[in-house]
Chains A and B, each alone.
Chain A
Amino acid sequence: MLALEFFTWWYSQGWLKRWQEIITYAHKTSQAFSTRTLVRTLFEPWRRIISYPGAGLDNHLRAMFDNLFSRIIGFCVRIIVITFSGVMLVFIMLVGISVALIWPLIPFIILALLIKGVI
């Protein structure tokens, strides 16, 4: 009876869970890398390091350059992390989809391995 329960679960909730897990892990990856926050703040200065312009054109230009530099730094760091999280996301989805696709075949794989080992 329990064996039947095992197979029932394997081809119903178990298989469904594999697909659900792809979304869960993708979401967790996105959370761990703060992807949403990083995209939203992509062009913001790095750690709010900004200069306030003083009097004169020179100071204005210097402040503008400083702030632009801070934004570039911020952009670079964020884009690197976003890219890395994207790669991770793709990897996780590929692995997840592969597992979900192979999942129904696993009992047969076990059987095949057994047969191959015996014969």
Chain B
Amino acid sequence: MQGQNILNLKSIRAKKAKLAIKLTGAIGKMFIVLMLVFIALSVFLFLISFSRIAFLTSAISLAIISFFIWYKQDLWVLKPTNDSLDGQLAKEVLGILKEGQINPRSVWISLSTSWQSRFFTNRFLISAQLVEQNLSSESTDMSVVWDKAIQLAKTRTSPGIEVGHVVAALLLTSQPLQTIFTKSKLSKEDIEAVLAWLIRVVDSSRAAKPYFGGIGRDWTTGFTPHLSEFGQNLSIVAEKSGDHFDWLQQTSGVIAIKNALSQGASGIALIGPPGIGKSSYIAALSKELIQEDQDINLRHQQIVSLSPSMILSRAKGTGEIEHTLMTIISEASHAGHIILFFDDAQLFFHEGLGSFDITQILLPVLENSNLQLIFAMSPNDFQSLKSNQSAFAAKLTPVVLAEPDQGSVMRVLEDTSLGIEYKRGVLISYEALYETYRLSGRYEQEMSFPGKAIQLLEEALPYANNGVITAESVQLAIEKTRGIKTGSAAPVEADELLSLEDEIHKRMINQSRAVSVVANALRRTRAGVANPKRPIGSFLFLGPTGVGKTELAKSIAATYFKNESNIIRLDMSEYQQADDVKRLLAGSDDNSSLIMSVRERPFSVVLLDEIEKAHTNVLNLLLQLLDEGQLTDIDGRAASFKDCIIIVTSNAGSEEIREHIAKGEELESFQAAFIDQLISSNQFKPELINRFDEIVLFRPLNQSELAQVVGLMMQEVNQTLSNQKIVIQLTDAAVARIVAAGYDARLGARPMRRVLQHSVEDPIANQILSGQIKPGDHVNMDESDLKL
């Protein structure tokens, strides 16, 4: 291998490459002009019988033509010759390198103007200068680069070493550049992925045009005037549209449809969730079938997609719809080369065509005709068809499309992004594509890959920064459309996170340990340390009533999700029966179900109160939720809880907590033994306890803490009165009196609000109404002013 790395720029192939590169562009065009001028001159001179000079110019013309043929057929093609380095390098590399010192930096300088080099710098949003500055100028370092380039080319079974291979090798072998890439969250795999993308583009540009059949192709097939009116011929579109998603032809989905068609299946149900790309699979199949090198049964078959809206808009009434459909099917059947494609087939079955049942017409076609039909539908629609039209469904051969893996989704995004860039005049970075894949996978549950990723990429277009779509553009798109922070914490937000305890304590009295435990868990998530496949945080709050469990949940919603109303609260005492699980998992039929609430507000605190009262089935469901970060509704659709904070509260063991605290013990000192006791007394199963990120114990509030609670409640009262510029202030004696009246060992601070309403708010209201208190007044209330 080492011997192969000696680059001989004086070899014949290197000289040919240099000459070929010199003749591209302006010089090449001048060369052609010169050739045409000499040919014209020769003809002219012969015509005016100036034959002697005409012979000379003819000789020159013929020489130029000969040279031009050599240039086009040998120099320009310059196929790899042997295993030597200069025998493998593409002319675009070999022809551009200058003799003298060859080192990584000089090679980059030579190649940096190539479009293939710019492909890398554009995708990674790095400047050519930055790459240059971080490449070695030692010629001895070049050997490693060539080794890597050869390895990259062989891995991808490329016939030669392209500019892309060399550029990728330069980026992969430079340690300083690797450090820069790592800081930008890019890995070596990302560089290789962009190389694979680039080589795909290069190969596609060099691929021979497929043969679609010539002028006589359709002379043995019938005319289809009605079908042309109501449908779109996907094969003709594919024939003209180039190589979009051609690689889908090799996927198991297209192969399965093709096999079914080849075996004579009269109807195929193409089953896949929305967004999986059913239409793209059919487009790829259309292009493949219309080509010459096919199974004789399928050769030059054309797929026509029917539009229900078009049929409806032209036909009036059921009778006319029926007649139109019969005509279309008859034409397609008679034409002999048509496969009908019913995209969104459910529209034909029960929506788009009103009360008319299309299966009445299609069933005889499936049974008796040689016309082949493909129906695209979701798994639910197929199930519904099986239930409602079992005879029709039984005639269909199901082809189930699986959700593509990450590699395939990225490939679709890469191909799609080139089209978007061309149409919209933007540049899409590789990081943006990966972020699109990541965020759409996490936040979009309604659609499948790759559709949801493509949708998010398009949503990110308005957030381009100077025409460049970056990872931040994608984050911004998802933040604006779904209302959640997805990126790494911005400086201000980082401060907020660091002072989360202070923020929560503005609304919460004491419970310092509980607040601290929760804040630490949330910081871990925000910093990206926590498992992204589970909810943001899951907490079991244990403690007596009225100690601030719900208040902490609200505070978390207010501080983390910036809105106190982002809380989904369920009283689990309402889910004590085994069948109650269904209510939690109800789909679109019940908007109040847990699943639908989370779909509506995916970024929320889910507060499950009094969990100890729920049925075991509900607890099992909770296990799944905490483990996988998602639940599946009764219709089989998943709902993500990965952006939720799950808070489960329980009063279990309240008396024990109160006793421990009364003895002067700290929460930390008895927490472990307390939890063991809850498990051993069968109040909680160990598997449930272990699923929570934190078990948070709340201590009962003492008199002084309750006084502070009164202070917080008074702040709320004053906030309400601030419109009237009225300020109410309680003396210490008044506060002590309210605490004494509102304190209940069993209910904690819960009765306090009611006492405050009676003792403070009621007399103040009366005085405002009677005019005793006027706007701008500052009112001091003592113990005697309270109405207790």
Residues of A within 8 A of B216 (CB): 33-35, 37-38, 78, 81
A25 to chain B, nearest CB (A): 14
Asked if A69 lies at the interface with its beta carbon under 8 angstroms from chain B, I say: no
Given contacts A13-B74, A106-B62, A113-B62, contact A32 B214 (CB under 8 A): yes
* Cβ-defined partner of B221 (8 Å) among A10, A14, A17, A47: A47
Interface residues of A in 40-56 (CB under 8 A from B): 41, 44, 46-49
**Interface residue tally for chain B (C-beta within 8 Å):** 36
Residues of B within 8 A of A13 (CB): 73-74
Verify B59–A34 contact, CB threshold 8 A.
Answer: no
Verify B215–A34 contact, CB threshold 8 A.
Answer: yes
Q: Which residue of A lies closest to B212 (CB)?
A: A31
Given contacts A1-B15, A14-B73, A48-B335, contact A117 B53 (CB under 8 A): yes
Given contacts A48-B334, A118-B56, contact A41 B219 (CB under 8 A): yes
Given contacts A5-B12, A48-B221, contact A117 B55 (CB under 8 A): yes
B226 to chain A, nearest CB (A): 15
Asked if B741 lies at the interface with its beta carbon under 8 angstroms from chain A, I say: no
B708 to chain A, nearest CB (A): 89
* Cβ-defined partner of A110 (8 Å) among B59, B211, B223, B335: B59
Asked if A77 lies at the interface with its beta carbon under 8 angstroms from chain B, I say: yes
* Complex alpha-carbon distance, A87 and B67, angstroms: 32
Verify A48–B336 contact, CB threshold 8 A.
Answer: yes
Verify A48–B222 contact, CB threshold 8 A.
Answer: yes
Sorting the interface of chain A by its residue count into under 10, 10 to 19, 20 to 34 or 35 or more gives 35 or more
The A-B contact count (CB < 8 A) is 100
Interface residues of A in 65-119 (CB under 8 A from B): 74, 77-78, 81, 106-107, 109-111, 113-114, 116-118
Verify B52–A117 contact, CB threshold 8 A.
Answer: yes
Given contacts A2-B19, A31-B211, A110-B62, contact A37 B73 (CB under 8 A): no
Given contacts A2-B15, A37-B213, A48-B334, contact A14 B63 (CB under 8 A): no
* Complex alpha-carbon distance, A37 and B223, angstroms: 18
Verify A47–B223 contact, CB threshold 8 A.
Answer: yes
Asked if B650 lies at the interface with its beta carbon under 8 angstroms from chain A, I say: no
Q: Which residue of A lies closest to B217 (CB)?
A: A34
Residues of A within 8 A of B15 (CB): 1-2, 5
Asked if B16 lies at the interface with its beta carbon under 8 angstroms from chain A, I say: yes
Q: Which residue of A lies closest to B56 (CB)?
A: A117
B422 to chain A, nearest CB (A): 30
* Complex alpha-carbon distance, A5 and B18, angstroms: 14
Residues of B within 8 A of A10 (CB): 66, 70
* Complex alpha-carbon distance, A106 and B52, angstroms: 19
Interface contacts beyond A1-B12, A118-B56: sample of 4 additional A-B pairs, CB < 8 Å, sorted by A: A47-B219, A81-B215, A106-B66, A113-B58
Task: Name A's B-contacting residues (CB within 8 A).
Answer: 1-2, 5-6, 9-10, 13-14, 17, 31-35, 37-38, 41, 44, 46-49, 74, 77-78, 81, 106-107, 109-111, 113-114, 116-118
- Ordered by A's residue number, 14 sampled pairs between the chains whose C-beta atoms are within 8 Å are A1-B12, A1-B15, A2-B15, A6-B67, A14-B70, A32-B214, A34-B219, A35-B214, A37-B220, A38-B219, A49-B223, A106-B66, A113-B62, A118-B56
